[in-house]
Amino acid sequence: MEHIPILRMGPFLLVTIQVDMHDQLAMTLQDDLTNRISETGAKGVLIDISSLEMVDSFIGRMIGNIAGMSRVLDANTVVVGMQPAVAITLVELGLSLKGVKTALNVEKGMELLRKSLTESDIEEVGLDREETRNHGLTVCH
Amino acid sequence: MERMKSNDQFEMIVQKYWEGILGDWVEEQLSSTGTRKELFSKEELRTQSKEFILLFQEAISAGDLDPYQPHWGKVRDFLSNLSRSRGENGFSPTETATFVFSIKKPLMARLGKEINNDARLLFEELSRVSNLIDKLGLFTTEVYQKTREEVIRRQQDELMELSTPVVKLWSGVLALPMIGTLDSNRTQTVLEALLQKIVETEAEIAIVDITGVPTVDTLVAQHLIKTVTAARLMGAECIISGIRPQIAQTIVHLGVDLGDIITKATLADALAVALQRRGLRVVAVQAPRALQTEASF
């Protein structure tokens, strides 16, 4: 059976779609990716669709679904390199992929993931800080 | 046989009197109310008329009086060229059609003079000639109309090209100043141009400036939202600027939800935001170091 390779890069997973997506392939990718995320405990997933030139409503929805599933599994997802024609098609189909992060290319996508990683780390710490600050403020008042 | 004979007669008249007809015809055209004399000289008109009458004569001798027959090809070509050049030079439809229609009077006068003893034959001849000239006149008008339509179409295309420039404001910052009413056709062009440019320049921020858009209705708003969404899908952020108070009111009254789209009052504000996002700032060159401030837009 055909598989789309899922590469591991440190705390992230890299999926590059180089072939035309058909429905079965998308389903397989969904299975493979969710399994790999839970196996590796990846913190981020980067899906490169720069070679994807055609999408239909199913594939569009699958991209959204995969991103949603990754998020549930505690991994940020960035979709990178979407072609103009694909973007127009998705918008016309009413699939705006709300909640999915996007970037222009792999480099920028990686940067985004790295940033979100540190952000999420800081977030936990930051929350505490804010709480203390709030406390401090209350004390001051 | 009588038809043949009458055709011969008409042919004979044109052959015999063409110079006279030409003279009368040119006079007729010049005196016609639909002719502006400043647009062409008398000599030019005479040359054109003479050329036409010779071709006309040739076509009559070749056969039927049906201008859509092959042997009228040269006459049709001549009229097409004339009509096209007049259409492009700003002649009115009346002025263009007058060229053909005004030959009727001199032709009929000659026919009347020649056939003065047979009222029935005269009537038949007159109606045949009249029919012919009418057809030629309509043909001229049709070509004129087509020429004008071509001009309009060309201008529309040019307008389309001109009104959708995507400009680079800064490295990684694109601007799309929209001008004129947005219809779905134009929006599609704009959208494609913007997305293509985003790919080419790897711009992270695109500013859509709608200062030049006179009105915003639900359709236009929807188009804007589509543009912003498509750009976001590709990984670029969109800022909409140049929303005038009137348009802001309309958008809210229409109940259009611009969602999380960033909107700014002017292009300058939008650029300031874009620079800030890219971690850049504008400072005054001459200011003392202590007073270096962010330029206020």
DSSP B124-180: HHHHHHHHHHHHHHHHHHHHHHHHHHHHHHHHHHHHHHHT---EEEETTEEEEEEES
Cβ pair B275, B282 in contact under 8 A: yes
With an 8 Å Cβ cutoff, are A82 and B233 in contact? yes
Cβ pair B174, B167 in contact under 8 A: yes
Nearest chain B Cα to A96, which residue?
A: B229
Domain residues for A52? 6-140
Is pLDDT above 70 for B269?
A: yes
Closest alpha carbon to B182 in B142, B225, B134, B217:
B217
For residue A91, give the CATH number of its domain: 3.30.750.24
Is pLDDT above 70 for A35?
A: yes
Say which of B203, B204, B230 has its CB closest to residue A88.
B230
Is pLDDT above 50 for B4?
A: no
Q: For strand A12-16 and strand A6-9, is the pairing parallel, antiparallel, or unpaired? A: antiparallel
In a domain, A124, yes or no: yes
Closest alpha carbon to B209 in B194, B188, B189:
B194
In this prediction, residue B85 has a pLDDT band, given cuts at 50, 70 and 90, of confident
The single residue listed with the structure tokens 């000659």 is B110
CATH top-level class for B167-291?
alpha beta
In a domain, A53, yes or no: yes
A96 touching chain B per CB within 8 A: yes
In a domain, A34, yes or no: yes
Q: Strand order of the sheet with strand B262-264?
A: B167-170, B173-179, B205-212, B237-241, B262-264
In this prediction, residue B3 has a pLDDT band, given cuts at 50, 70 and 90, of very low
In a domain, A37, yes or no: yes
Exposed / middle / buried, residue B137 (Cβ in 10 Å: 0-12, 13-18, 19+):
buried
pTM: predicted TM-score of the whole model, two decimal places:
0.62
HSE at residue B191, side-chain half, CA atoms within 13 A, is 30
Of residues B90 and B137, which shows the higher confidence score? B137
Shortest distance between the Cα of B206 and any Cα of chain A, in A, equals 13
Of residues B95 and A129, which shows the higher confidence score? B95
Tell me the average pLDDT across B250-270.
87
Chain A, 20-79: which have a CB under 8 Å from a chain B CB?
79
Buried b (16+ CB within 10 A) or exposed e, B97-108: bbbbbbbbbbbb
What is the C-alpha to C-alpha distance for residues B296 and A6, in angstroms, rounded to an integer? 48
Tell me the average pLDDT across B242-267.
86
What are the structural domain ranges in chain B? 2-159, 167-291
Tell me the average pLDDT across B12-38.
78
Q: Which residues contact B140 (CB under 8 A, 6 or more apart)?
A: B79, B82, B83, B96, B97, B99, B100
pLDDT value for A99: 79
pLDDT digits (tens, 9 = 90+) for B41-65: 778 888 888 888 888 888 888 877 7
pLDDT value for B25: 86
Is pLDDT above 50 for A46?
A: yes
Domain count for chain A, please give it. Answer: 1
In a domain, A1, yes or no: no
Tell me the average pLDDT across B199-204.
91
What is the C-alpha to C-alpha distance for residues B60 and A14, in angstroms, rounded to an integer? 81
In a domain, A32, yes or no: yes
pLDDT value for B230: 92
Exposed / middle / buried, residue A105 (Cβ in 10 Å: 0-12, 13-18, 19+):
middle
In this prediction, residue B294 has a pLDDT band, given cuts at 50, 70 and 90, of low
Element (H, E) at A115: helix A106-140
Strand partners, A78: A46, A101
End-to-end CA distance of chain B: 90
pLDDT digits (tens, 9 = 90+) for B212-235: 888 888 888 888 888 899 999 999
Closest alpha carbon to B207 in B282, B278, B257:
B278
With an 8 Å Cβ cutoff, are B199 and A84 in contact? yes
Residues of chain A found within 8 Å of residue B234, distances taken between Cβ atoms: 82-84, 87, 102, 104
Domain B2-159 bears CATH identifier 1.10.490.70:
yes
pLDDT digits (tens, 9 = 90+) for A52-109: 888 888 988 888 888 888 888 888 899 999 999 999 999 989 888 887 889 999 999 9
pLDDT value for B288: 60
pLDDT value for B293: 56
